[in-house]
């Protein structure tokens, strides 16, 4: 198993980003690879199961493992056939400062840790990076 770490920083507030994560109906708005989320729950919670439908109409089963609202952190496992990937998401405040000489302003940093087969992670990373950037935008 391999691990890939991604992050994005943007102007959206931590509350906005957390809501975008926690409400399934919002996922397709910031994650371009997601067409729909099929589950009986409205929000992420430990033990919630469902299926993410991609824009190619491929269904990926998932189960939410852990949710920590105070830390704005959550993890889940996804499965497509024999392939299984574990993902952990963190939402952190980002304050005014500089990053490589560019003024960032206030906003949010989101971090993603993925564990799974390296070829799958490498293939998925560009889509995940794009989704994270959209997640933290205004």
Q: What domain range is 120 assigned to?
A: 2-135
The secondary structure element, H or E, covering residue 16 is: helix 14-22
State pLDDT tens for residues 39-84.
999 999 999 999 999 999 999 999 999 999 999 999 999 999 999 9
CA-to-CA dists, residue 117 to 61, 85, 106, angstroms = 17, 8, 35
Instruction: Please answer whether residues 73 and 90 qualify as being in contact, where contact means their C-beta atoms are separated by less than 8 angstroms.
Output: yes
135 φ, ψ to 5°?
Answer: -60, -40
Instruction: Please answer whether residues 72 and 92 qualify as being in contact, where contact means their C-beta atoms are separated by less than 8 angstroms.
Output: yes
What's the pTM? 0.91
Domain count, the chain: 1
- CATH code at 123? 3.30.530.20
State pLDDT tens for residues 92-114.
999 765 555 555 568 999 999 99
């Amino acid at each position: 198993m391999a691990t890939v770490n991604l992050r994005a920083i943007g102007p959206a507030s931590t509350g906005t980003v957390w809501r975008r994560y926690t409400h399934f109906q919002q996922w397709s708005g910031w994650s371009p690879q997601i067409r729909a989320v099929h589950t009986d729950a409205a929000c992420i919670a430990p033990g919630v199961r469902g299926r993410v439908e991609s824009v190619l109409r491929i269904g990926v089963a998932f189960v939410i493992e852990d949710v920590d609202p105070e830390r704005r952190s959550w993890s889940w496992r996804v499965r497509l056939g024999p392939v299984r990937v574990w993902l952990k998401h963190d939402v952190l405040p980002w304050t005014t400062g500089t990053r490589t000489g560019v003024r960032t302003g206030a906003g949010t940093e989101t971090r993603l840790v993925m564990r799974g087969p390296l070829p799958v992670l490498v293939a998925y990373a560009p889509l995940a990076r794009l989704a994270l950037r959209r997640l933290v935008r205004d």
